[in-house]
């Protein structure tokens, strides 16, 4: 487990260098939108789950296929997400 990475700079550094298989990513990282981080993670074939207080309309179409949890989200819901077979991830 890695994180948290509460800023865009920290999240980009982790997305570029850490050996990741899955990621839970808030859309808002310290006031910056996390789209560059998502692009890096998806380019590395990392399974991304979004967690956000933003509504679905705030998510660009290129990320619409990703699982998204509305805040607040419980740890049980997230645990179930990651217990799912890898083929279920976008």
What confidence score (pLDDT) does residue 85 get? 57
Domain 8-82 falls under CATH 2.60.40.10: no
* SS3 label, residue 26: strand
- 50 alpha-carbon distance from chain centroid: 4
pTM, rounded to two decimals = 0.80
Residues in Cβ contact with 65 at an 8 Å cutoff, skipping those fewer than 6 apart? 90
Chain-centre distance for alpha carbon 48: 4
Residue closest to 12 by CA, chosen among 78, 90, 33: 33
Q: What is the pLDDT of residues 29-80, one digit of tens each?
A: 999 999 999 999 999 999 998 988 888 899 999 999 998 888 888 778 777 7
Mean pLDDT for all residues in the chain: 86
Q: Cβ distance 67 to 38 under 8 Å?
A: no
């Amino acid at each position: 487990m890695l994180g948290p990475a509460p800023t865009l700079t920290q999240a980009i550094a982790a997305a570029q260098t850490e050996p990741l298989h899955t990621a839970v990513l808030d859309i808002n990282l310290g006031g910056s939108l996390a789209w560059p981080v998502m692009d890096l993670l998806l380019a590395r074939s990392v399974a991304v789950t979004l967690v956000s207080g933003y509504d679905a309309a705030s998510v660009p179409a290129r990320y619409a296929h990703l699982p998204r949890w509305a805040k607040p989200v419980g740890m049980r819901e997230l645990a179930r997400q990651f217990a799912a077979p890898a083929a279920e991830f976008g």
